[in-house]
């Protein structure tokens, strides 16, 4: 008995952390019919649409549905040719749909497809969605990206590492739908038992390294690995929609000699016999017959007709028209008259059908225009008072209008009028939403200036530190001897660089003994650096806290060094985060052997000296990625999952960390500002996934935490890279008790949240002051620091066209001084 191909498959798609809609699509088809499986194999597809919501989603859905149908409808035994034909058919349909609707002009999609039959895999791709083969502990990309950076790599003009961070890495050179024809690459791979394939969009391959993909797929079965792959991409930023199909080859099939066999097509198809010719196919409407059904088969039945001469019935006797004897002229006239009558009846029937269909189509268009008009009118009434509902209605209206085709002049005029109303109402709703949600666009409150590398070779988006460059990852600001603000940057070569008033890197500043500086932070007049001497032989690494002072020249004066206890290194404890409150320096150490316990060290500052260390252990939920403090020794910890906790440090006896609470849930920022919205923009709908949905402060995607004083009030600032915002919070004022009334029951006042219990520390409740949102400036923040003299935050961001690829953003956080501008 011949061996049959056996597969274990799983698929998963996720919107990611930065996109409002999922424009990816995916499918796989494993025929249950053994003969069809033997002849055509199993098909797997991933498509990544582009062109915005209501365009990208449409393009990727057309690609998946069309390829799934056309491939199995193809009679050919050449898998590569059948697959190529199906993809080209999908390209033609997408191109046609885009031409029919101006709102979908330019829409397209990538496509990566795989057919596994017997002992061979056929891979086809257009665009930058990828197919990987994992075999024997090694991972290899089978497909070839059609992108600008990949072409530069193949030409030897860019390295692979440079391509990963290049500003043009998202520019693709080939996709389905933008041209009438498209070139498709097809590759073949011999299968081996234990092979695994990954088909994915660039939302996965762009966020997770190849070796990490291999590790996850080798470690888990497909049903688990797809979840881990998506989770890992989100942990790394989730900057795009994420889609993955994982295929594990359990048993390789046997490839029989090429032979045409009778086969069953689909679930209800009839057997194709030798005297049967297919003269047409019944193709369902593209969006009413999905390619993915419970039994994983394509639900279609070919339209069939027997071959051979056409037979007519004459005088109730079957006679072959090709062999009919000669008739008198009158008989021929009668026959021709009958045929003509039948023809006229057929034409009339077709004409009636076309007329009725046209009338129904016009009625549908009129109804759609009326429904959209109702949605827009209702949104106008809600735009100022309930903008979230208004935007939801406007998005539905826009989607309805985007599907209309073949309009009359009157209908087209109505469409143009409704689109103008929709655009104006959307701008009003966006402005109202931002005002109610305390959201200020970055353009209203920031000054962004490029960072000049001066005489320092700084890594850019198109270079790496392996080429003699350094990468900047921390910024700290403090006062010099004259009270003037100076800033310093820490690089990955463990050196501190001075930055002058013109945002130019000048001097490389070393510490005594030339240790490696791992972290730095600042208070008003002091810079605190944590440095290390690497381990030598059996001697473990040693760590030192240095207290530094900025001189007028910008040079750093070393005031005091305090070595950390060597037992920390011997016990495997490693410093992870550092902060200062002005009178104390705090360091958090974590052991790789115990991820649920952290050690906090407190170094009191006495003048220009560091005092004796106090230490304590606390329980933590996951990795701490940022740390800051208020005065009065209130510490705030930001965890990798975006949750924030606080603790009070009292003479070396910290309270256990407790959750920080919010007075009200944080509304999420919209994907676009009112000033940037146009008729071709998707209507933004408020999302909930990137905000804190409850009273607990937890912001998935938060990367930095810092604090600063505004009008003598301490503020807490969070950088949320996923939603491109800086969140400004302060401690909510305590409730004022009601005035007692004689002989009355005392009025109830606000109480401690129910989750806080005795002995777990006093919870802190914060109120929202402002959110500063940007659609592009906060995608890659490298560091954040408050100005010691003015209510300004400095954010160091990576990206853009500056020589170093770095920008310094000055964010004005004083609402009373910030000039108001359109939302």
The domain ranges of the chain are: 6-255, 345-436, 443-669+702-734+769-812
Instruction: Quote the pLDDT of residue 294.
Output: 30
pLDDT-derived band at 8 (thresholds 50, 70, 90) equals very high
Contacts of 558 (CB under 8 A, 6+ apart): 511, 512, 546, 547, 548
pLDDT at 456 over 80: no
Lowest mean pLDDT among 74-88, 171-185, 327-341: 327-341
pLDDT at 685 over 80: yes
pLDDT at 492 over 90: no
Q: Specify the pTM.
A: 0.56
Instruction: Quote the pLDDT of residue 777.
Output: 65
Alpha-carbon distance values, 470 to 461, 464, 495, 784 (Å): 12, 8, 10, 19
Instruction: Quote the pLDDT of residue 741.
Output: 44
How close are the terminal C-alpha atoms of the chain, in Å?
71
Lowest mean pLDDT among 331-335, 575-579, 700-704: 331-335
Residue whose C-alpha is closest to residue 519's, from 456, 451, 453, 580: 580
Instruction: Quote the pLDDT of residue 261.
Output: 35
What's the rounded mean pLDDT across residues 427-444?
85
Strands 505-509 and 725-731: unpaired
pLDDT at 306 over 50: no
Instruction: Quote the pLDDT of residue 106.
Output: 75
Q: What is the DSSP letter of 204?
A: H
pLDDT-derived band at 314 (thresholds 50, 70, 90) equals very low
Label residue 565 exposed, middle or buried (CB < 10 Å: 0-12, 13-18, 19+).
middle
Class of CATH domain 345-436? mainly alpha
What's the rounded mean pLDDT across residues 174-191?
93
What's the rounded mean pLDDT across residues 685-697?
66
8 Å CB contact between 397 and 417: no
Q: Pick the residue with more confidence: 359 or 322? A: 359
- 3 state SS for 219-263: HCCHHHHHHHHHHHHHHCCCCCCEEEEEEEEEECCCCCCCCCCCC
What's the rounded mean pLDDT across residues 545-569?
87
Q: Pick the residue with more confidence: 396 or 348? A: 396
Lowest mean pLDDT among 3-12, 63-72, 443-452: 443-452
- Which residue(s) pair with 8 in the sheet? 248
Rounded CA gap, 647 and 643, in Å? 14
Q: Which two tokens stand for residue 765?
A: 């409740």
Is 701 in a helix, a strand, or coil? coil
Lowest mean pLDDT among 224-238, 321-335, 442-456, 529-543: 321-335
What's the rounded mean pLDDT across residues 52-77?
89
Label residue 420 exposed, middle or buried (CB < 10 Å: 0-12, 13-18, 19+).
exposed
Instruction: Quote the pLDDT of residue 348.
Output: 63
What's the rounded mean pLDDT across residues 141-161?
83
Listed in order, strand segments (DSSP E) in 298-380 are 302-306, 311-314, 317-320
Q: What is the DSSP letter of 745?
A: P
Q: What is the DSSP letter of 643?
A: B
The DSSP annotation for 408-419 comes to: -HHHHHHHHHHH
pLDDT at 130 over 70: yes
pLDDT at 187 over 80: yes
Q: Quick one: 443-669+702-734+769-812 is in which CATH superfamily?
A: TolB, C-terminal domain (2.120.10.30)
What's the rounded mean pLDDT across residues 423-448?
83
Instruction: Quote the pLDDT of residue 471.
Output: 74
Select, from the ranges 157-161, 227-231, 359-363, 770-774, the one with the highest average predicted confidence (pLDDT): 227-231
What's the rounded mean pLDDT across residues 487-495?
85
pLDDT more than 90, % of the chain:
32
pLDDT-derived band at 188 (thresholds 50, 70, 90) equals very high
Instruction: Quote the pLDDT of residue 680.
Output: 77
What's the rounded mean pLDDT across residues 792-796?
86
**Mean pLDDT across the chain, nearest whole number?**
78
Listed in order, strand segments (DSSP E) in 92-182 are 108-109, 111-117, 120-126, 130-135, 138-141
pLDDT digits (tens, 9 = 90+) for 245-292: 999 999 998 865 543 333 333 333 323 232 222 222 222 333 222 233
What's the rounded mean pLDDT across residues 220-248?
94
Instruction: Quote the pLDDT of residue 54.
Output: 63
Lowest mean pLDDT among 181-190, 274-283, 724-733: 274-283
Residue whose C-alpha is closest to residue 193's, from 251, 133, 117, 120: 251
CATH 1.10.510.10 for domain 6-255, yes or no, is no
Q: Which two tokens stand for residue 648?
A: 């009070």
pLDDT digits (tens, 9 = 90+) for 351-389: 655 555 555 678 878 888 888 899 999 999 999 999 999
Lowest mean pLDDT among 132-146, 436-450, 490-504, 634-648: 436-450
8 Å CB contact between 16 and 238: yes
pLDDT at 4 over 90: no
Instruction: Quote the pLDDT of residue 650.
Output: 80
Instruction: Quote the pLDDT of residue 567.
Output: 80
pLDDT at 744 over 80: no
pLDDT at 527 over 60: yes
pLDDT at 119 over 90: yes
8 Å CB contact between 58 and 97: yes
CB atoms within 10 A of CB 95: 20
Instruction: Quote the pLDDT of residue 321.
Output: 34
Rounded CA gap, 25 and 652, in Å? 55
CB atoms within 10 A of CB 410: 10
Instruction: Quote the pLDDT of residue 263.
Output: 33
């Amino acid at each position: 008995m011949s061996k049959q191909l056996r597969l274990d498959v799983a698929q998963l798609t996720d919107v990611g952390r930065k996109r409002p809609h999922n424009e990816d699509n995916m499918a796989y088809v494993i025929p249950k019919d053994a003969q069809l499986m033997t002849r055509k194999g199993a098909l797997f597809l991933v498509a990544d649409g582009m062109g915005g919501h209501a365009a990208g989603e449409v393009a990727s859905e057309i690609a998946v549905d069309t390829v799934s149908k056309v491939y199995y409808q193809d009679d050919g035994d050449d898998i590569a040719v059948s697959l190529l034909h199906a993809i080209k058919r999908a390209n033609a349909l997408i191109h046609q749909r885009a031409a029919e609707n101006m709102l979908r002009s330019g829409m397209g999609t990538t496509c990566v497809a795989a057919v596994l039959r017997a002992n061979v895999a056929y891979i086809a791709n257009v665009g930058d969605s990828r197919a990987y083969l994992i075999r024997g502990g090694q991972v290899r990309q089978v497909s070839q990206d059609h992108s600008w950076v990949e072409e530069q790599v193949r030409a030897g003009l860019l390295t692979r590492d440079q391509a990963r961070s290049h500003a043009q890495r998202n520019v693709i050179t080939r996709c389905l739908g933008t041209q009438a024809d498209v070139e498709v690459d097809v590759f073949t791979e011999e299968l081996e038992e234990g092979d695994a394939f990954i088909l994915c969009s660039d939302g996965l391959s762009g966020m997770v390294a190849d070796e990490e993909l291999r590790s996850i797929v080798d470690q888990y079965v497909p049903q688990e690995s797809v979840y881990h792959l998506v989770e890992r991409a989100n942990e790394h930023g989730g900057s795009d929609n994420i889609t993955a199909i994982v295929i594990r080859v359990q048993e390789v099939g046997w490839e029989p000699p090429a032979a045409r066999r009778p086969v069953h097509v689909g679930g209800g198809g009839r057997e194709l016999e030798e005297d049967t010719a297919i003269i047409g196919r019944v193709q369902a409407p593209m969006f009413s017959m999905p390619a993915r059904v419970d039994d994983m088969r394509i639900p279609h039945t070919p339209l069939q007709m027997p071959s051979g001469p056409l037979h007519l019935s004459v005088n109730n006797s079957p006679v072959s028209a090709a062999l009919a004897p000669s008739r008198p002229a009158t008989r021929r006239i009668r026959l021709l008259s009958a045929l003509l009558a039948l023809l006229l009846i057929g034409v009339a029937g077709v004409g009636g059908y076309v007329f009725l269909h046209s009338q129904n189509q016009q009625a549908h268009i009129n109804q759609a225009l009326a429904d959209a008009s109702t949605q827009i009118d209702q949104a106008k009434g809600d735009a100022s008072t309930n903008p979230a509902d208004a935007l939801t209605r406007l998005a539905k209206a826009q989607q309805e209008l985007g599907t209309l085709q073949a309009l009359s002049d009157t209908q087209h005029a109505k469409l143009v009028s409704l689109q103008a109303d929709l655009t104006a109402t959307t701008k009003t709703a966006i402005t109202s939403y931002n005002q109610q949600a305390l959201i200020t666009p970055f353009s209203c409150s920031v000054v962004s200036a490029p960072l000049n590398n001066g005489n320092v070779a700084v890594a850019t988006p198109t270079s790496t530190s392996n080429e003699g460059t350094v990468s900047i990852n921390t910024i700290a600001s403090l006062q010099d001897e004259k009270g003037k603000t100076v800033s310093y940057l820490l690089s990955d070569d463990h050196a501190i660089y001075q930055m002058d008033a013109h945002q130019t890197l000048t001097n490389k500043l070393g510490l005594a003994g030339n240790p490696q500086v791992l972290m730095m932070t600042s208070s008003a007049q002091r810079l605190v650096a944590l440095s290390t001497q690497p381990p030598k032989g059996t001697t473990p690494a040693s760590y030192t806290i240095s207290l530094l002072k900025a001189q007028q020249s910008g040079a750093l004066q070393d005031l005091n060094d305090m070595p950390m206890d060597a037992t920390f290194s011997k016990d495997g404890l490693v410093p992870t985060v550092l902060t200062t409150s002005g009178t104390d320096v705090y360091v958090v150490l974590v052991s790789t052997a115990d991820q649920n316990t952290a050690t906090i060290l407190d170094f009191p500052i006495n003048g220009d000296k560091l005092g004796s260390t106090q230490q304590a252990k606390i329980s933590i939920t996951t990795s701490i990625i940022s740390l800051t403090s208020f005065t009065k020794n209130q510490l705030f910890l930001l965890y990798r999952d975006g949750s924030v906790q606080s603790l009070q440090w009292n003479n070396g006896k910290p309270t256990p960390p407790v959750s920080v609470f919010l007075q009200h849930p944080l509304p999420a920022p919209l994907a676009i500002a009112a000033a940037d919205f146009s008729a071709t923009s998707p209507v933004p709908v408020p999302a909930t996934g990137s905000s804190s949905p409850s009273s607990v402060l937890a912001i998935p995607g938060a990367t930095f935490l810092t604090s600063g004083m505004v009008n003598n009030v301490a503020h807490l600032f969070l950088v949320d890279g996923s939603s491109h915002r800086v969140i400004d919070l302060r401690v909510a004022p305590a409730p004022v008790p009601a005035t007692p009334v004689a002989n009355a029951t005392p009025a109830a006042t606000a109480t401690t949240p129910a989750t806080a219990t005795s002995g777990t520390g006093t919870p802190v409740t914060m109120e929202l002051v402002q959110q500063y949102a940007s659609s592009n400036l906060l995608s890659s923040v490298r560091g954040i620091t408050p100005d010691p003299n003015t209510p300004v935050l400095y954010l160091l961001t990576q990206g853009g066209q500056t020589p170093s690829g770095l920008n310094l953003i000055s964010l004005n956080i004083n609402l009373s001084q910030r000039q108001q501008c359109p939302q």
